[in-house]
Structure 1
Amino acid sequence: MSYIPAEVLSNDNVYGQYFFITVRILNSYRKTPLPPQFAVVWVPGVDLIPLSYALASGKVVGFFYKVVGEGTKALSMRSRGDVIGVSEPLGRWYIPQGGDVVFLAGGAGIAPFLLYLKYVESPRGVWGVRQGELAARLVELFPKLKSLLVASEDCTYGLCGKLTDYVDRVPIGRDTEVLISGPSDMVREVCRRFRDLKFSRAYVIAESMVKCGIGVCGSCLVGNVLLCKDGPVVGCNYFE
């Protein structure tokens, strides 16, 4: 996989271990990133990190991420003017056409939905967070998030509790498409609920480590789907 040099424009600490980095692609992308595509971000000398696009405007792209290991820790320490590497957009884009869509996101799983806000006028769904302050600060950056129900486990913002406590509050019709992103335990529980309801239009935006980016190494295989080529949207049946 090749990486395009990208200059860091900003790398803001949104709250706690959550950051939003914006970079300028120094060469040209062959194609415009569309939701829920992702890139592999290269922190020189440290690690490769697959991240969903949260912002895409010309040569400026952005990623919302949580510090969870050495790679993301090193990324969080990059500042304005530093250069990192960013791959071409990976995976297939998926924008529901003419129908109703519901977003269900847990924690940093909100990342791919941030780019969807560019294409969905009035998003519906639930975002679950542990700390309400994270939601409050990200809503300031992305005001459209106000249309989502927010459930905070510390009960300081929106509804009190977990995402799974409030899924039933979102009207879901026969033609609704549901997109799910977040921790695996949350994803499995939500998918189990839809299975019990015999609802077949629920899909997961899956995340996995990507290496070659061309579907050869198999490191991003989920079920029989290669995320870098045919994902990252897969059926709920892979997570039951």
Structure 2
Amino acid sequence: MTGPGRPRLVESRRPGASGREEILDAAGELFVTRGFAATSTRAIADSVGIRQASLYHHFPTKESILAALLDSTVEPSLRYARTLADLGGDPALLLWALTAGDSWNLLTDRSNLGRLYLIPEADAAGLSAFHAKRRELHGIYRTLAAQVVADPKDPRCALPVRVTESVIAIRADDPTMAAPADGPLPASAGLVADSALRILGIEPTDALREAGTALVATHRHAAPPPGDDRPE
């Protein structure tokens, strides 16, 4: 279904439970492979198999599509990070679980949408909400890292989140790293989490990995708690 409007040009050819999701899937692939500036809304509509007017029913501009795509890369990880931060406890364990779960999120989308972070259009003023969420996510990483090393001024505190985001570049070089959204924790995500702790001088133990994997399984897809009115 694409919502009100004229019928489709062809049968659905994109994954997604709604016309909006199909448009985002097509746009993400085209923005990553062709570039944002070189991709027209007509090309996106053709890739979905809908008329351009139907696309505008869901998104008024190409920039609004980019905003939705960028938000989709950070929102699940931020909710997960908030949940872990609220749990409290061993910061090394929480940081391992955060890095593993966030890396897994970056491994799941079809088009490696994290690559959009680097395009010039990602700095547009209209994307301030995305940048605020990303800063909050980075802040949670940094806070946990500072607790691990017991020194918020330690320059290493900025590194774990960058280790996680290195998954984006690694996937660009090796697309086979992509992982399903569900199932057991991908081994590559666990290795990234190990690396994040080693940068801080902590060698992960099997017990920590087991506990961290359990946190990922329990909380990565958890819905936000009722009444969570923190700014988005």
TM-score by length of 1: 0.27
Greater share of strand? 1
Greater share of helix? 2
**Which has the greater radius of gyration?**
2
TM-score by length of 2: 0.28
